Structure 1
Amino acid sequence: MTYILDSNTYIQAKNLYYQMEFCPAYWEWLDIEFAKGQVCCISSVYDELIEYKDELSDWVKHRKEVFLPVADDETQSKFGEVVEYVYGLESKDPVDVGNFLDKADPWIIAKASVLDATIVTHERLTPENSRKVKIPNIAKHFNVECISTYALLKRLEARFILSAA
């Protein structure tokens, strides 16, 4: 199984629970999983993350090879289907639709659908009557599974061992 990480998994990890200075094991674990080919990301997320110009963007810049391109014909075709579907959601807020389509989100869904991969995101399913457009809702329509970072860690049996400085 391949897992594709959403931007928010990197950002929240860096800002909250796996800050780089006190939990380097998480970031080392990602490198190991990247090397195994079990975890990856897409170039659109790379583009979003490097804009921050912080320690995360520096970390990402040294790992450009794990950010898969989205220019292949299959991904482009699936992206078109995602865009068409999202535009067809009449009950959604047009501003939210535009924001969703301007980010990496539709590309993640397209790439995950093409690769039969699972998306790792902190977004949650919203009720059908919600005006928001969220990855899990759109991914569900395309039969793409979404899980949290914690579920990923459990599935891949990650272990971070305490080491006194």
Structure 2
Amino acid sequence: MSTGSTYCLDANVLIQSWQKYYNPRLCPDYWNLLSQLGAQGVVFIPGEVQREILRTEDELADWLKTSSIPVKPINTKVTQCLGEIYGAHPSHQTLVDNTKGRSLADPWVIAHAMADNAVVVTKEEKVNAANAKRIKIPNVCEAMSVRCIHDFEFLEELGVRFGCSMIT
């Protein structure tokens, strides 16, 4: 199951999976797996992702508080990587949606991945339009030579297979 890679999870991987794809009432194994991968050091989240999720006091926040997913703090190397990201191109400033206070963790996800030589896992899709108002994580990862994959690719890469059963 191990690829030897470490994966840095974007907040949307947890939020959208909880709300849509792998709701724990239907797919508790997904959440058990993520916690197990955290305990094994395969996945982690930046502290900024944790803050983004804990802002909404809900069941996902409760789960995250008890999961084994490591939460990495900002350190000097991460801060240097963030400076490299913002210095590489002016468009990288648009990772954060300042008007709505969204995506605050996005640049930190990439900076942590750079600092730890990790793979970014996100649900975001690359923006190809030159007139896009905001750049996305995959665009910046590509510019910074950071490997970035969709969460379904992440599961495939780890060889994850889910089974179904009925509660009787």
The two structures have a TM-score, normalised by structure 2, of 0.86
Are 2:79 and 1:81 equivalent residues in the alignment?
Answer: no
Moved more, 22-31 or 61-70: 61-70
* Residue of structure 1 in register with 2:124 after alignment: 123
Q: Measure the CA separation in 2 of the matches of 1:93 and 1:78.
A: 17
Are 2:115 and 1:114 equivalent residues in the alignment?
Answer: yes
Q: Measure the CA separation in 1 of the matches of 2:162 and 2:53.
A: 25
Moved more, 99-108 or 12-21: 99-108
The match for 1:155 among 151, 154, 157 is: 157
SS of corresponding position for 2:91 = coil
Are 2:159 and 1:135 equivalent residues in the alignment?
Answer: no
1:161 CA drift (Å): 2.4
Are 2:30 and 1:43 equivalent residues in the alignment?
Answer: no
Are 2:8 and 1:4 equivalent residues in the alignment?
Answer: yes
* Residue of structure 2 in register with 1:146 after alignment: 148
The two structures have a TM-score, normalised by structure 1, of 0.87
Cα distance change of structure 1 residues 156 and 93 upon mapping to structure 2, 3 Å threshold: closer
* Residue of structure 1 in register with 2:33 after alignment: 29
1:137 CA drift (Å): 0.7
Q: Measure the CA separation in 2 of the matches of 1:47 and 1:34.
A: 17
Q: Measure the CA separation in 2 of the matches of 1:60 and 1:20.
A: 13
1:97 CA drift (Å): 6.5
SS of corresponding position for 2:8 = strand
Give the number of aligned pairs: 162
* Residue of structure 2 in register with 1:69 after alignment: 73
Moved more, 17-26 or 99-108: 99-108
Query: Cα RMSD over matched residues?
Result: 2.5
Deviations 1:1-60 (A, max 9, x none): 111110001011011110011110000010111111111111100000001111000011
- The answer for unaligned runs of 5 or more in structure 2 is none
Return the letter of the residue paired with 1:82. I
Q: Measure the CA separation in 2 of the matches of 1:63 and 1:158.
A: 19
- The answer for unaligned runs of 5 or more in structure 1 is none
